[in-house]
Structure 1
Amino acid sequence: MIILPAIDLLDGKVVRLYQGDYQQQQVFGDDPVVFAKEFQQKGATHLHLVDLNGAKVGTKVHFDVVRRIVAETDLFVELGGGIRTEADIEDVLAAGVNRVILGTIAQKNPTFAKEMLAKYGEKIAVGVDARDGMVAVAGWLETTETRADDFCQQLADWGCKTIIYTDIAKDGTGKGIDVAMYQRLNQLGLDIVASGGVASLTDIRQLAQVETYGAIVGKAIYSGTLTLEDCLTTAKEASR
């Protein structure tokens, strides 16, 4: 299982939100590139980037920061937040980002999402953010009437390869993950990346044991509850 340390970008800073609430943010640093380099030095191979400003307003906001991270590290970078058009996708991929995450637009414009999945294949992932089992969009500010499980099945039917599934109620809380839910999602035959609530090595071990493709680790490594090195080691050992 792959461990993806997360960098959430808000107003140029590295932050973590509590349950996606922009009013409940904790700032961890002013230079995201420094964090990305440190993650690589500690053994990470992948990085999960989210442009929180972009997710909120619907356009790329931290593109210069993203370009710097790509240029100054060898990490496999996936980026989400504010990517709404094919031009956005092309710009991001041209900048060297390895995988583009479609969020709000995938739920609101299925035709576009299907076209992009068909055209760009594995370079497109879809972020499914769930609040009480329902899909949330627009930086988690709007909850739809679409069941998250149904949407994931729909994405599989569209040919989606990778889903980043976030349990909003768990995100940033340190309360752990719902292993049974990820076990169900893994039966879709897709690469499922678990996001939200990873708080212990037990969480990582359990996700690996149910053959989850990847796990995003954020607040736990920023707060010091976990070390990135321990996360990487545990994921590798549990995946054997």
Structure 2
Amino acid sequence: MLVLPAIDLLDNEAVRLLQGDYSKKTVYSSSPEKMIQVFEEQGATLIHIVDLNAAKTGKSENEKTIKKIKEKCSVNLELGGGIRSVENMKFYDGLGVSRFILGTIAVEDPKIVEKGLSLFGQNRIVIGVDAKNGYVRTKGWETNSGILYKDFLNTMYAMGIRHVIFTDIARDGMMEGPSTQLYKELLTEFPDLQLVASGGVSSTQDLVELYDQTDGKLFGAITGKAIYEGKLDLKESIRILNQKREK
């Protein structure tokens, strides 16, 4: 199970939003590329980036920062937020992004998902399922799609999607622990899904419990605020999970 440090970009700064509320942001750095260099030094092999400007409006304001990040580090990047066309994917592919996270567009135009799979393959197309009260939310979490997340997952799975990031919005940024039972259920229903847990990871112990209670079947877990606020030691967490995997 990988530990994916998260960086949310808003106006070229690294921020965190409380439960996706753009009016409740905390700025952590005006130089996100420096943060990623630290994550790489601590052992991260895949870093999760969200373009919050693009997630909300469909237009990125952070392209120069994403380019700078890639120039300053060699770690793999996955990027979400506002990727709503094949042209977007091709552009970010040109910047060296490894994995493209499709959220809103996967709900509104599944054909884009099919085209992405055809062009880039299963391992580079990731579906971001952001859920609250059982329903998928879109456009930076601000819109209720009216689609139950289980129905949406079944549709994506049938299409050939195997990489999914599932965010429990109610847990995000709350530092109250992840929805472990939910991830167990998803892995039981979709046993070959490469599932990444997102939302609520507040300590190394949370990561260990996620690993243990899913029998090590999670592809990874995303954590952001806990690292920034010194509640989770990234290097130590990676060491512990690697040790458990090797047993």
Report the TM-score when normalising by structure 2: 0.94
Q: Measure how far apart 1:153 and its partner are.
A: 2.0
Please say if 1:202 is aligned against 2:213: no
CA RMSD, 1 decimal: 1.2
Tell me the SS of whatever aligns to 1:177: coil
Q: Deviations over 1:167-209 (max 9, x none)?
A: 1000000010111111122231111011111112222112222
After the TM superposition, which residues 56-205 of structure 1 pair with which residues of structure 2 at under 5 Å, given as runs? 56-121=56-121, 122-187=123-188, 188=190, 189-205=192-208
For the residues of structure 2 that align with 1:208 and 1:148, how far apart are their CA atoms?
Answer: 23
Segments of structure 2 that go 5 or more residues without pairing to the other structure are: none
Q: Does residue 218 in structure 1 map to residue 189 in structure 2? A: no
Relative distance call for 1:138 and 1:129 in structure 2 (3 A) is same
Instruction: Work out whether 1:235 is the aligned partner of 2:241.
Output: yes
3-state secondary structure, aligned to 1:169: helix
Cα distance in structure 2, aligned partners of 1:222 and 1:203: 16
How many residue pairs align between the two structures? Answer: 240
Q: Which runs of 5+ in 1 are unaligned?
A: none
Q: C-alpha distance in 2, partners of 1:204/1:195? A: 11
Check conservation: 1:117, 1:158, Cα contact below 8 A.
no
Greater CA deviation, 133-142 or 115-124? 115-124
Following TM superposition, by how much is the alpha carbon of 1:114 offset from its aligned partner in structure 2, in angstroms?
2.2
Q: Using the alignment, how far apart are the partners of 1:208 and 1:92 within structure 2? A: 31
Sequence identity percentage:
39
Tell me by how many angstroms 1:164 deviates: 0.8
Moved over 2 A (4+): 237-240
| Preserved contact between residue 86 and residue 115 of structure 2 (Cα < 8 Å) | no
Note the C-alpha offset of 1:235: 2.1
Code of the aligned partner of 2:161: C
Aligned equivalents of 1:42, 1:159: Cα separation in 2? 34
User: What is the CA-CA distance between 1:64 and the residue it aligns to?
Assistant: 1.3
